Amino acid sequence: MQDYQLMIDRMIELPSPPLVVHRLQEVFSREEISGHDIAKIVEIDQSFTARVLRLVNSPFYGFTRKIVLIEEAVTMLGINAIQQLLLTTSLLGSFKKADKSIKISGFWIHSFGVAVIAKALLSHRDKDTQSEVFMGGILHDIGRLVYLRLDPDRFLSFYVGQDMAPDLAGERGYFGIDHQMAGYMLAQKWNFPKGICDIIKYHHQPIESPLYLQTASAVHIADIICHGFAISHQVNFYITEYYPEAWKAINLSYGELEKRLAKALMEFENSVEAFLESD
């Protein structure tokens, strides 16, 4: 309990949303939103703008022409998708800058792989759902970077210094809180949409998220697939227990799964470099 409370108390040390994100949250809370309103705020921060446009123009999104303005990106992606992209890009920027002293590129490769495959699993769903599961996939393990940010030595000792991959109970015993809850708390601090918060909180137990069962299940299955294809971490991370109910929630035939995986793996190969460089 003491370790748990210590982790809660130290959450204040984690990066808070920058001013541009605060302003964007105010805009997104309005009933009437325009791409011009969003662009005016985003384009104040040139490095933020550059990161967003680099991702939007990556092969993953597959636009036939280059997007040069944030307002264009809003038009092409839609309000909900751009909100998720802006929040996620900003959070990634905060953590990537802070973690350059420790080589964790494998963490980001795994996160992007889960995102791409999870989106492919739900490619029959609407654009907003696909965007939500993609961003949730990128952030599903962000709680582990909470550990890294707050105590790098303990992070390395726990994840790198063990022969066996630690499970959620092991995390709770060592840190006082597992990475799902740590990531969920960070996402709430940044005011992420509830769907993304729930994906982070329940990606190892998707059946505990009835409101977002399908998106949490897609990330759950994608996580397992990424480990199966060795799209994985460079340190000793836990491979989730498989839930058959998650497969039922996705509602795909194995033949359709094979087709979507083939396409997703190609998209991953073509886009992962752009994702890694978006900091």
Over residues 237-245, the mean pLDDT reads 78
pLDDT bucket at 198, cuts 50 / 70 / 90 = very high
Handedness of CA 150, 236, 247, 126 (dihedral sign): positive
Closest listed residue to residue 195, CA positions, set 245, 125, 133: 133
**Phi, psi (degrees; rounded to nearest 5) at 32:** -110, 120
Tokens for 51, please give them: 């990161």
**What's the CATH fold of domain 2-276?**
Hypothetical protein af1432 (1.10.3210)
Distance CA 168, CA 178 (A): 6
Residue 202: which of 171, 150, 240 has the closest Cα?
240
- Percentage of the chain beyond pLDDT 70 is 87
**Residue 138 CA, distance from chain mean position:** 2
If you average pLDDT over every residue of the chain, what do you get?
Answer: 84
Domain map (residue ranges) of the chain = 2-276
Specify the DSSP class assigned to residue 18. Answer: P
> What local confidence, expressed as pLDDT, does residue 8 receive?
67
pLDDT at 95: 76
Which of 17, 15, 230, 268 shows the shortest CA–CA distance to 138?
A: 268
C-alpha 59, offset from chain centre: 18
Percent of the chain at pLDDT above 90? 34
Question: Residue 95 in contact with residue 138, Cβ under 8 Å?
Answer: no
Across the range 14-37, mean pLDDT stands at 83
Q: For residues 124-131, give the mean pLDDT.
A: 90
Distance of alpha carbon 206 from alpha carbon 219, whole angstroms? 9
User: Degrees (nearest 5) of the Cα angle 66, 23, 188?
Assistant: 100
Distance of alpha carbon 142 from alpha carbon 148, whole angstroms: 10
| Mean pLDDT lowest among 218-227, 241-250, 255-264, 268-277 | 268-277
Buried b (16+ CB within 10 A) or exposed e, 233-269: bebebbebeebeebbebbebeeeebeebbeebbebbe
Q: What per-residue confidence (pLDDT) applies to 121?
A: 97
Q: Distance of CA 55 to CAs 14, 48, 52, 234, 275, Å? A: 25, 11, 5, 24, 6
Other C-beta atoms lying within 10 Å of the C-beta of residue 168: 16
Per-residue pLDDT band for 62 (boundaries 50, 70, 90) equals confident
Residue 200 binned pLDDT confidence (cut-offs 50, 70, 90): very high
Predicted TM-score (pTM) of the model is 0.85
The backbone torsions φ and ψ at residue 234, rounded to the nearest 5 degrees and listed phi first, read -90, -5
pLDDT number for residue 1: 43
Better pLDDT: 153 or 178: 178
Identify which of 86-90, 162-166, 186-190 has the greatest average pLDDT: 186-190
